[in-house]
Each structure stands twice: as structure tokens, then as C-alpha cells.
Chain A
């Protein structure tokens, strides 16, 4: 079958792949590039487990074609931590036990990061509405919302009062 050649950037790495015209970005990430951190919960844009950021915009990768990645900058869960340095949201999700089964967690983290980049002081309601496109069936959202609010609070602290321990390596 005819395949389309695509050049893109994923988590800062130049990436080339070929895909069929009807393949979604999620299929490409998972099945062609082996990046299975983005999950497919529905394939219809209802659950948010496949959330990625494309040129700064939060999207469901199941609703975007792989071919549309041409020339774009894609960020996925695999690129969220800086080496062994976790993103503060990742550390807070651990601290607050904001995950149970963990299958929705990559999508929540990508979506929450996107929120905090736009709004560093969201209200509980703003967090809840921003994350309304991400389904979690285990937690009832309580601990997730707390983790996001707590991260925002910490990240707003001026840099000099920030303890170096805030970005420590995870011990788990």
C-alpha cells in the first residue's frame, strides 16, 4: 500500500517515518515508533489517554493523522521528564497517590502540564474543567486534582526559596 514519508520532531528528536494515509498519529507513535506511553482508551477523542502536544497545542493523537505530523513539533509523555529529573507534576502524582491503574496517567500528565503552561494559578474549577477531557475510572479524580493544584502552588514559588529537593530523583 502507498505510504507517506513524514519528517517531524518528537520530544526534540528529529524523526522520520512512513505511514499509510489513514493511520492516526497514535498508531504511528505506538506501532511504528514503539512509543507506547500514549494509550488508546477509545480511539474517538473521548478519553484523553492519548494526549500529546503538537506545536504547543494539546491534542488527542487518535484524532490526528500521522501524516499531519509533517514539520511539526510533537511532545509526548516519554519526553516529560528531563532525563532522570522528573517534571514536578510527575513527582506530585507519585506523592499524592494520584494514580491507581495508571493507564490514564500519561494523558493526565500531558494535559495538566499544558494547563500549567497557560495558567500557573488555576482554581480547582479550572483544573476540573481543563481535565474534563481526560477520563479516569479508578481515582474519582480527587487526588489528581489535588496533585495538579499542589504542583501549581510549588511551581509559583520564587526560584530561590525552592528547595533543591523539589526536583529530586524519584526514590520509588
Chain B
């Protein structure tokens, strides 16, 4: 029986869930045996390379590939002409993976070659002649919105306005969320603070570049091996772009070397498939780091206005936000989620968030951990912090006073279910970190964050082997230890030790459809499906036991890994363990397996509170993070080590966003720092230990109370660090990253 949210009671006593078991993919990953995207080869394989636009915005007049095709060893050259008609839903993807009439950003793919060696492919790339007409470009979000800005797409007319404009612009859409009378609320306030913030674009920075191996046969059947957060998505999009039947393409997800949202779309996979189709050979394409930075999907850069009113007692009377996000050369930035998440931590009578989705000559943005939310939270939490300082109020007390709680109306509309924001705030207030003394040039920052968390389409298959062990197939690529957590939930439900369950990621031909690994959904949704699949198998095992005992199935119950008579009336029978039943499966009716195919619902939203101490060097402007503590609601931490890992990893990505990381574009619109030396993500010596405090407020939508934990951890750090630096420096910081020159400027030193 599938779990019924609201009807079934939640399990609270666990044997396996909540313990720190070894991970199933651990040995392979510490010995170098694990196979990631670039680690696969095939007989007769060619190397594919992609030619990219050196211009930020240019009309492509002509592409001459004849000299490249003549290079010895070259077996295929493809351009946009090799991608024919496709459904509307993937038009932008088609344009992004291979430029058609115009190159829209520095790094936009314009052609690709496949050759027997990388050297031959490199030589061929140099011989492709592209005739560009360079066009005016714009990369800054505020500049892109000006009426005088170069129009990137003359078919783009702003949606969401009362009247659709007659002239095209770079503003794709306007969004508005909120309720109540904001103007009246602001008027009531004892103090209103209004500020404008800017954040630079950052990249997910996964260490493994995009990589794939595609093989297309002359019979129209194909295979792709790739590192992706969603191999079913790769199948759908690639088959649509190549005009194939979805089931003719099988996609296998390799081990994935980080994704954080950046691998929820395709870049090179359709190109490799087209090269393979044309050459009739398997083709491997691996991005270089510079290609990853120039041409995969970073975040939006943003510009945000915030206005908040507060009374002397700390009550927030109203909040107003205008958010402008450029999402690269195509519509679809994360601004609606930013607008929805901006004030989600506060229970407000009057709130409004207006978002503008803006295009610019930059790579099409992709999701990055709680897409859109960190920037919005940064701006809102900075103003809340400043109000607290001006009114001499404790920032945690003020947040507790205004915090969203069970049943309160979210700033984006619906009412919250059971939520853990208050619990994280209370944990922070009680923690020694909050009372620790600070020294000279040091400051403390507090901020909260929210993320929705998803459910979504999920399939799981659970097979009981004759020896009583379990094969568990899931279809959501494991980006942070989810095989361990899902396997442990199945073991818990079945009542067997965790090491009797082996959880693997099945390919697209072996399992029903699964949405991508995103929205912190996997431990929740694949876990829920695994529990349901286990219940399905248990039901079948109880039937077998009933048959063996000759009693009705209703008289059989499953407890501690064995079928048992449910009451003395059912007769005296020794329990039949899972292994006992499995051993007789063939003779009692055939193989036993459990399934679950669902559109998982009931994902519980998640909140976090972060505390951080920093020290600002007034001579150099360098900011050192001294102490960091994360308090986050996990609902139920299935594998505490990996929950802590999510908290720590998200916090450190936030530290990078706040202090170091930024996309720097030159006057010519080209990316100036397309490498890990100049696009600097945090290294071990930049950081202290990150203390992770797990708060557990069970989610009523999951049988074990689980909430997704992956994304919320990146929402508070930008604001927490900015508040801490502002406290240390004695001046309000309003732009990210807070690199040394910006800090010195704020201090009036330069």
C-alpha cells in the first residue's frame, strides 16, 4: 500500500534510518574505479570538439567547413543545419547547443567536428571559416533593460504587462507576487529602509566538466553515456532534437562529478549524437574547463531594490522588492523563484515582489542550487539586518517575532504546512556560537533562507533475490550520497540490514520515467517510492507466507524482516523471514519484486538559519571567515553524514558567491576569467570547519518525515556573510562578491 499523506502515521523509531552507514559507491570512488562521464570509451570511438563564437553578439553570415572535412581522420562536421525541425518546447535548447542565425554570447557553439584523434579534431576546428558580422552587445542586467540597449531578439515582447508592448526589448517577462496593501504597511512603519543591491553571476563549479559518449547506429537506435542530473531528460531532449523515437535512445547516467543544477539540461549530448549519426561511429565529447565556464549555464547576475518597514518593537509592517535577473541570451531566468522566495521567511500582512526576466549576451543560465533564491534572500536579509541595527534590536528576536510558521500565509500565496523555521532560529539562539565574543575588526551575521523542495515523477523497482538480498533500481542520478539514503529507507521498511540492499541508478530502458535530480527531491521522492516499492514487495511476501501456512493473507503481518501470523487466532507458525520466503519464491509463484511509479507529492518546504563570524582586514580589504554554523530543518536526517555534507557544501558555495566568485566580462563582451585560477572557488585554506546542526521537524508528506536538504543551505550565506562583514566594517555592503577592492572602497580606503 502506497503511503497516504495525512492518513498514515509517520514512523518515528528507526533501526537503519538515521545511522551513518558506509556508502555503496564508496569503495569505487576512493580507489579510482568509479566511472564518470569522461571515463568511458567505445571501440572505434572518435573525439568530438566544438568550435565556439569569439564574439558576444554576431550574425553568422556563412560557415565554410570544407577544409575541415578534408583533414585526414575527420569523419563528421556538424552545424545548426544538421539539427532539423523540433517541437517548440526544445527550440531554445536547439539554438543554445548550436547557434543558427546569430551567435548570442562568447562561447556559443557554432560547429563541431569528430575525428580519430584529438589532434586531428583540433586541426579541423582551426580550418572552419565562420564569417561573422559583429553586432552591438550588452551583458549587464540594468544596461540590458534600458530602451537604448541593443535588442538581442527582435521577436521578444515583454509578457506579463497589462498591455503587450509594440516594440521588442530584452525584458522577457514581468512577474508579481504578494498580498495586502504594501503602501499602507510602509506608511505605518516607524522606520523604512530602502536599498539597491547587485550580485554577479556565479557558476556551479562542479569539478567534473560535461562529458558524454554517444553512439548512433544506422538502424536509428542510439545510446548515450553521460554525466547528468537526469538521464531521462537527456533522452527526451536529444530524441526530440534528432527526430528520434524516445525509446530508440537509451541513456545511461555515469557517476556524476557534481551538478548543483548545472547538469539539469543538455549542452554537448545532442551534438555528440549528431556527430555519431553523421560519422556512423561512437563519438566522445568532453568540455574543457574554459568551455564549462563560457558555455554551460551559470547563474543570473542581478540587480534588486528592497524596501521594508519595521516598527520599534521589531514588527515588520510591509516588504516590497523589485528583482531584475538576466538569464543569458534566452528567457527563463530564475527570477520568479527569487520573487517567490524573497520574503518566504516572514509572515507578513503586506508584501509584494516584482520580478523582471531579462536577456543579455551571456550563456543561458541554468539552475544553481535553490535557483534564484540566494540573491533575493541576500537583499531582503540585508535590509532586515540594517533595520535591526538602526532600531537596536536583536536580529534573531526580530526574525522569531516575524517568522513564518505552521499555517501562516506564504509571501508567494499558499499557506504553509508544518515548517521548521522557528526551530532553526531557536537552535541558533541557544547555540554557544551566538554568545561567543568577537574581537577587533570582527563581525557577526545572521540570515535565514527558504526553498520549496520538489516531489515529481519517480519510478523505483525493488527485486528480491533468491538469497534474500535486494536489488534496488532508481532513476535519479546520485549527486551526493542518495544511493545510501534510499537503500537505507528500503532496508528500514523491509526490516533487513542495510548491506543486504544494493541501490543502483538504472538506465532509461530499464525503469519507468524519472524527473531529473533537482529541487532537493531525490531523498524525498525516490525514498518515498522505494518505501512504497518495499511495501509492495512485503505485500507479495505476506501472500506467499499465507499460502505456505494455508491461512488468509489478512492474517499475516510483516514485522522485523519476517512474515508472522498477525494474532494467535491465525494459528501457530514460525515466522518466515525475507530470506526464507525468497528461497521458495520460484516454487511458490515466481520471482518477487516491488514497484512504485508515482508523481510524488507532499515535499515539505525547508528553512535554515546561518550564523557567521568574519574578520575584515582594513589594510587589504580581505575578509576571513572565522566561524560558521548552519541550522537547518531536515525533517528526518536519513543519513546524517550526508545531510551535514549538504549543509556544509551549500554554506561554502555561498561563501564563494559572497566573497570571491564572479563572471567578469570585458568591454568586448567576452568572459575574462574562464578558468579556475581566476574564477576562484573557495579552497581548504580559505575556510574554517563548518558546524552543521540538524534540526528535525518531520514533514507530514513523507512516511519517515523526510524533507529535501540539498538546496536551502545556499540561500542564507550570501546575506549572513554580508551582514557579518557590514558588522565588522561598520558600513553596509550592497554588492557581491565582497572582493578586497570592493571592501576597501566601502571602507573609503580607495
Contacts and interface: CB of A to CB of B under 8 A. Distances in A.
B648 interface: yes
Contacts of A40: 38, 209, 286
Interface string B254-270: 01111110000000000
Contacts of B209: 40-41
B30 A137 contact: no
Contacts of B39: 30, 36
Contacts of A151: none
B642 A36 contact: no
A146 B691 CA distance: 12
Contacts of B645: 97, 100, 138-140, 143
A39 to B, nearest CB: 7
B681 A172 contact: no
Given A36-B35, A141-B684, A101 B208 contact: yes
A135 B649 CA distance: 12
Given A100-B645, A141-B652, A143-B645, A127 B684 contact: yes
A139 B649 contact: yes
Contact of B676 (A39, A135, A139): A135
- SS of A interface (majority): loop
Contacts of A171: 22, 499
B652 A140 contact: yes
A81 B481 contact: no
A44 B208 contact: no
A25 interface: no
A81 B641 contact: no
Interface string A66-92: 000000000011101100001000100
B257 A102 contact: yes
Interface string A40-60: 111110110100000000000
Contact of A101 (B22, B31, B256, B289): B256
Interface residues of A, number: 64
B684 A128 contact: yes
A170 B205 contact: no
A105 interface: yes
Given A43-B288, A140-B649, A105 B29 contact: yes
A132 interface: yes
A142 interface: yes
Interface in B193-214: 204-209
A141 B31 contact: no
A102 B651 contact: no
B289 A139 contact: no
A43 B289 contact: yes
B681 to A, nearest CB: 6
Interface in B571-615: none
Contacts of A141: 652, 682-684, 687
Contacts of A8: none
B509 interface: no
A47 B480 contact: no
A11 to B, nearest CB: 11
B280 to A, nearest CB: 22
Contacts of A61: none
B687 A140 contact: yes
B27 interface: yes
A94 interface: yes
17 contacts: A20-B119, A34-B41, A44-B677, A47-B289, A97-B641, A102-B30, A102-B34, A124-B689, A131-B685, A135-B207, A135-B683, A137-B681, A138-B645, A140-B645, A140-B648, A143-B641, A144-B684
Interface of B: 20, 22-36, 38-39, 41, 119, 204-209, 255-260, 286, 288-289, 479-481, 499, 641-642, 644-645, 648-653, 675-677, 681-687, 689-690, 692
Closest 5 CB pairs of A and B: A37-B32, A103-B257, A102-B29, A140-B652, A97-B641
Given A39-B38, A140-B682, 20 more contacts: A36-B35, A42-B676, A43-B289, A80-B32, A94-B30, A97-B644, A102-B255, A103-B208, A104-B207, A106-B32, A125-B685, A133-B683, A135-B683, A137-B204, A137-B206, A137-B653, A140-B653, A141-B682, A143-B648, A172-B22
